Structure 1
Amino acid sequence: MRNLVLFLLVFLCTKAYSQKQQSALDTLETRYQQCLGNNQHMYNCAVTYYKQLDSLLNHTLQHLYSSLTPGRQQQLQAEQGAWEEKKEEYFKKIDERVEKMHKRTMEGLDDDMISTDNKAAFLKARLRTLLNI
């Protein structure tokens, strides 16, 4: 009975944390869209959004590691390692594509903004997955 109560308490705390993080993610998305809507410094908007998503992702991972059982921690660590490899591969492809585009376009910051936005979307997808664990 005691274990059941402890399990329920951990579950409820994790659920509340997940909802809080989802709200933070929604707020970041809203701010990003507002920034882009101003049509100025769009690259800076994308960089700020990317950095905030990366921070939120790292914070969420730290919380998950501290709240999971050792077995589940190992599983998450393995999943995260595989995701990191995919991320590196995806980001490398994006960077290569942007490098090729820079040679053909005068507005390099537009290409960089789109690249950063794509990278942020990759992080956001992982964050959404983690919030549903």
Structure 2
Amino acid sequence: METVSILKTSYQKCLDSGNGMKNCAIEYYNDSDSLLNVSYKNLKLKLSSKEQSKLKKEQLDWIKKRDLYFEKVYSDTKKEGHFVEGSGDFDMVVFDEKANYILSRVKELIKKM
């Protein structure tokens, strides 16, 4: 959980600088995704083969939900009309939402360790 806090703090500092905020959000998303992969692999190493199979199925189900959520985030952001689709601000909002969704999964995996 400490790594998640560090990641969020680093992201906030990047945003607070006011420079390249879209890039801050993209980096936050990429770092969140990397942390997800590391958390998943670390948890998997601690499990029996039966538990690993269960975790794999759970992760595949989560990936399907994630993909649906990502589509919803994009369409909701577009519908809200606050940002022009494809603009830096639009992309920043979308990547921010995606990263936060991924980090909620990271926290779930860390709790299982």
Q: Calculate the aligned-residue CA RMSD, in Å.
A: 2.1
Aligned length in residues: 112
Which TM-score applies when normalising by structure 1?
Answer: 0.75
Q: Does residue 60 in structure 1 map to residue 42 in structure 2?
A: no
Max radius of gyration: which structure?
Answer: 1
1:2-81 matches, within 5 Å, as 22-81=1-60
Runs of 4+ in 1 over 4 A off after TM superposition: 98-102
Q: Distance in 1 between the 2:86 and 2:53 partners?
A: 45
Are the aligned partners of 2:28 and 2:99 in contact in 1 as well (CA < 8 Å)? yes
* Deviation, structure 1 residue 64: 1.2
Are the aligned partners of 1:98 and 1:112 in contact in 2 as well (CA < 8 Å)? no
2:60 aligned counterpart, secondary structure = helix
Specify the alignment match of 1:115 in structure 2.
94
**How many percent of aligned residue pairs carry the same amino acid?**
33
* Structure 1 portions without partners, runs of 5+: 1-21
Are the aligned partners of 2:22 and 2:89 in contact in 1 as well (CA < 8 Å)? yes
Are residues 107 and 38 of structure 1, via their aligned partners in 2, closer, same or farther at CA, if it must alter by over 3 Å? Answer: farther
Q: Distance in 1 between the 2:86 and 2:33 partners?
A: 26
1:93 aligned counterpart, secondary structure = helix
Which TM-score applies when normalising by structure 2?
Answer: 0.88
Deviations 1:19-77 (A, max 9, x none): xxx22221111100111111111110000011011001101111111210112111111
Q: Distance in 1 between the 2:86 and 2:49 partners?
A: 49
* Deviation, structure 1 residue 110: 0.7
Q: Distance in 1 between the 2:36 and 2:12 partners?
A: 19
